[in-house]
Structure 1
Amino acid sequence: MTTIDIALDSERASMRQLPDVLTFIESPPGMAPLTTFRLAAIDEFGYLFTLRSAQADGVRLFAVSPSVYFPAYGPAVSREVRDALGMADEVDPTLLAIVNPGEDRATTVNLLAPIVVDPTTGNAAQVVLDGHEWPLRAPLVAA
């Protein structure tokens, strides 16, 4: 299994490795029936990534490690999500956030619905958080 280095902060003091293949337990919204995506780094820092469908050519999403750009970001992952991913109690989930590139508007990040990844298995789920603390379209600024 190949792994990808993910920065968990802008100084890269905390890093984590994720499998390069993520298997969603349910298709991400708007992506049905796709569930398998290849994770690849765009930069050498572990900040920006692509998720390319392993099932449909040409389907690509951009993602970031949200805590790099939004240091206060740290939503709790529910027991229900952890159980659905088959995540062991001692495993800390890794979060990714989908980037919405802007051509004539600002590039934004979806902090309301992060991708939760079990770093040991690559099992993933995009979950909508409860409440209104995190925006659907947070402006992306340089780390």
Structure 2
Amino acid sequence: MSIALTFTVAPFGLEPLRSFTLDPVDGADGLFALVGTGTTDSGVTDPRLYLLDAAVHLPDYAPVLADEQADRIGLERAEEAMLLVVANPDAAGTTVNLLAPVVVNARTAVGAQFILEDQDLPIRAELAHS
């Protein structure tokens, strides 16, 4: 089931877009396509990013949002947060960005991509295959 999302600020590289659809990828549990509506400043129309649900693929990943970040998307409780990471597949495998997750308020469908402060997390972490 697709979810219409509104971002408080455009995700990195997708400026100025703030309206997206989060579509589950058939046959791939916890994998989503984030599809933008419109054209980015760099000229890409209806851009697409692949996101992994951290709860499914990275159960030990537990970043901490600053209060200001949680407030920006209206999080009242941690349980409301859907934590997603950008996946970058290439010939050598897949990496994920752990430093700048996409966080969605499941109650309101408002999201944002945050750069985590004071956390030593990689931008390109190898995704382990099970």
1:40 equivalenced with 2:23 (yes/no): yes
State the distance in 2 between where 1:80 and 1:95 align: 17
- 2:57 maps to which of 50, 69, 72: 69
SS of the counterpart of 1:64?
A: strand
Structure 2 equivalent of residue 86 of structure 1: 74
Runs of 4+ in 1 over 6 A off after TM superposition: none
Following superposition, the deviation at residue 141 of structure 1 comes to: 2.8
Residue correspondences, number: 125
- Alignment root-mean-square deviation, CA: 2.0
Worse overlay, 115-124 or 130-139: 130-139
- CA spacing shift, 1:28–1:40, aligned 2, 3 Å: same
Q: Contact 2:7–2:18 at 8 Å: present in 1 too?
A: yes
Q: Contact 2:80–2:107 at 8 Å: present in 1 too?
A: no
1:90-138 Cα shifts (integer Å, max 9, x gaps)? 7531110001121x33211111100111001111110111234321111
Worse overlay, 77-86 or 20-29: 77-86
Superposed, 1:115-126 pairs within 5 Å as 115-126=102-113
Worse overlay, 90-99 or 26-35: 90-99
Q: Contact 1:69–1:142 at 8 Å: present in 2 too?
A: no
SS of the counterpart of 1:72?
A: coil
State the distance in 2 between where 1:112 and 1:74 align: 11
Following superposition, the deviation at residue 58 of structure 1 comes to: 3.7
Structure 2 equivalent of residue 17 of structure 1: none
- 2:92 maps to which of 99, 102, 105: 105
Worse overlay, 126-135 or 46-55: 126-135
**Fraction of identical pairs, as percent:** 35
TM-score, normalising length from structure 1? 0.77
Task: Give ranges in structure 2 of 5+ residues lacking alignment.
Answer: 40-44
Structure 2 equivalent of residue 95 of structure 1: 83
State the distance in 2 between where 1:90 and 1:68 align: 17
1:63-95 Cα shifts (integer Å, max 9, x gaps)? 001232222101122211121112234753111
